Structure 1
């Protein structure tokens, strides 16, 4: 079996005005859909970032994939390294929003984008679900968490309609957001994207959620926007209310000092994003929970390696999320179903997706009682709706956004906004 075609399609889909430490989401989020086909007629699907620097790398790699055996993952790694070494990519991001926008992760991002598609094709060829290719499932259903955001009622851009979720800037509005999301999807835990309002306002929101959902696991993620003293103070106020405390401080040294001061379990997707940082974290005794993300950790098998490392060093494991579609969601679920260690429900932005803007046949995927249930179809079990893909590609061409820039979007609301962190 050999690759006979590789199709790369950048798309844009509507994104609500979600606030975060880096600014605010633009009216459209960008992703890239990868479609492989083999000489045997088997397909392989992937989904990754849609920013211009990633697209530059994806297009540079495509000619080197012609005729490849999709089982040759070592060959894929060599080609990826070659392309990253030789390709100069554009980058106009104001600052690193997350590891997904970090140029230092280009090898991992490029490799993972195609590794998922290669593994999908392998599993389809062998007639088995992707999770079985990854070693078999240790769980049939992968739990996910309700992911809450502070947000405006609409985007500042004049041609963008009011957002169906409405405004969420107060404890009561945030509780209503949680009620809607949990009623729709059955989630059993809640995460709040913080670092937006003053810390005391965000403490009040967590307390309101705890009152409304007694006993439900809660998390807060300020994305490194709090200074150490602030994080210690907030941690003491929220002690006993949080399942874990995610990335309140911007550095590993601060996270280690925070843990020493509060004893609270700390989670990260910012200060531990590769195995070198993993080693530094074990020495510093900084974070106790690692939030993996196959898009920048180097793919599904490297995520399994991370899970084994967490198990070895006694750390917890869960999964980070960014704005995504169903291919990424299902890939997350398959690898999460394959690792014995999955300490907490995974993050997902998927409930924020407009139901009409999914690219897989059958439309928006469903959670059952707060979890994604794996089926028995070969590979990822997904097919592309070509009409929907073309519609979202045309939306990409028309929207004018080519790289995510939450800071530039925020300056449309607040011209003097800088995004400098930590801000509180």
Structure 2
């Protein structure tokens, strides 16, 4: 079996005005949709980053992958390494908040994007679900968490009609947001993206969520936007309200000091983003839970290696999310289904994405009881809707965004806004 076609299609889909530590989401999120076709008629799918640096490398890989056996993942890695070396990518602004954007992740990003498509193609050719190639499912339903954001009602400039979620800045609005997500999808745990408003207000929102949903485990994620002093002070206010405290303060050393003083379980997708950082974190006891992300950890099998390392060193495992569509969600679900020590519900932005902007046939995937089901359908179990793909590609061409910049977007609301870390 040989690869005869590789197609990378950049797309853009509407993204709500969600606040975070570096500003606010731009009106459109960028992704790439990858197709890898074999000479016996199978097509494997992948979804990855769509910002300009990542996209340039993905598109440069289209020709060199022709003729490769899709089972030859070592060959894939060699081609990716050579292509990245030729491009000499540079880090983009905001990489500290989005590790996948850092130049050091270029190889793992590009390899992951195509590894998922290669594995999907392999599994389809064998008529088995992708999870079987990862050792088989230890669970058929993968739990995800309600992912809450502070948000404005509408983007500045109103590039399209306001979303149906409305404003969420107050305690009552955050509780209402959670109630809607839980009613729609049955989530059993809740995460609040913090680091955007004053820490005391964000902690007050956690307290309000605790009162409204006393049985739901809670997490808060300031994206390293609190100083160690602030993180310690907020830890006292939070008490035992949290399942885990995610990236409250910057750096491995800062996280280690916070854990030493509080004993709280600290989770991260920011200070442990590769195996070198993992090694250093273990030595410092910086974090107790690693949030994996196959997009920048180097694919599904490297995510399994990470999970095994966490098991070896007694660390918990969950999964990080960025704005994504159904192909990424199913890739997450397949690898999560194969990780025995997945101890916490995974993150997902999926409920924030509009129903009419999915690229897979049948529309958006179902999340029931807070879980995504992994079926026995071949591969990832999803098929590409080419009409939707064309629509979202056209939107990419029109939207004018080529690189996410939450700081620049926030400056449209507040011209004096500057990137400060930690802000509080």
TM bucket, shorter chain: over 0.9
Q: Structure 2-normalised TM-score?
A: 0.99
**How far is the alpha carbon of 1:60 from its aligned partner?**
1.3
Say which SS state the counterpart of residue 187 (structure 1) adopts: coil
SS at match of 2:64: helix
Query: 2:57 maps to what in 1?
Result: 57
Distance 2:316 2:342 in 1: 7
Q: Which residue does the alignment assign to 1:149?
A: 149
Aligned position for 2:291: 291
> Is the CA contact (8 Å cut-off) linking 2:218 and 2:244 kept in structure 1?
yes
Find the residue that maps to 2:412 and give its secondary structure: coil
Partner deviation per Cα, 1:79-133 (whole Å, 9 max, x = no partner): 1110111114476535533111111100000000000000000000111000011
Mark the CA change 1:358 to 1:99 in structure 2 (over 3 Å): closer, same or farther: same
Which sections of structure 1, spanning at least 5 residues, go unmatched? none
Between the aligned partners of 2:91 and 2:272, the Cα distance in structure 1 is: 23
Q: Within 1, Cα distance between the matches of 2:94 and 2:119?
A: 34
Aligned to 1:277: 277
Aligned to 1:165: 165
2:243 is the alignment partner of 1:235? no
Q: Contact between 1:37 and 1:44, CA under 8 Å: does it hold in 2? A: yes
Contact conserved, 1:56 with 1:89, CA < 8 A, in 2?
no
Match of 1:328 in 2: 328
CA distance in 2, matches of 1:387, 1:18: 28
- Structure 1 position 396 matched with structure 2 position 396: yes
Q: Which runs of 5+ in 2 are unaligned?
A: none
- The whole-number CA distance in structure 2 between the counterparts of 1:281 and 1:92 is 25
TM-score by length of 1: 0.99
- 1:305 and 2:305 equivalent? yes
* DSSP-derived class of the 1:65 partner: coil
Are the equivalent residues in 1 in contact too, given 2:23–2:406 (CA < 8 A)? yes
Structure 1 counterpart SS, 2:13: strand
| Deviation, structure 1 residue 63 | 1.4
Contact 1:42–1:124 (CA<8 Å) still a contact in 2? yes
2:245 corresponds in structure 1 to 245
Q: How many residues align?
A: 424
Per-residue deviation, 1:419: 1.9
- Please report how far the alpha carbon of residue 236 of structure 1 lies from its aligned counterpart in structure 2 after TM superposition: 1.4
Aligned partner of 2:338 in structure 1 is 338
1:192-247 Cα deviation digits (max 9, x unpaired): 00001101000100000000001210000000000001001101111210000000
Helix, strand or coil for the counterpart of 1:151? coil
Which residue of structure 2 aligns with residue 70 of structure 1?
A: 70
Match of 1:8 in 2: 8
The question of whether the paired residues in 1 share the 8 Å contact of 2:22 and 2:94 is answered with: no
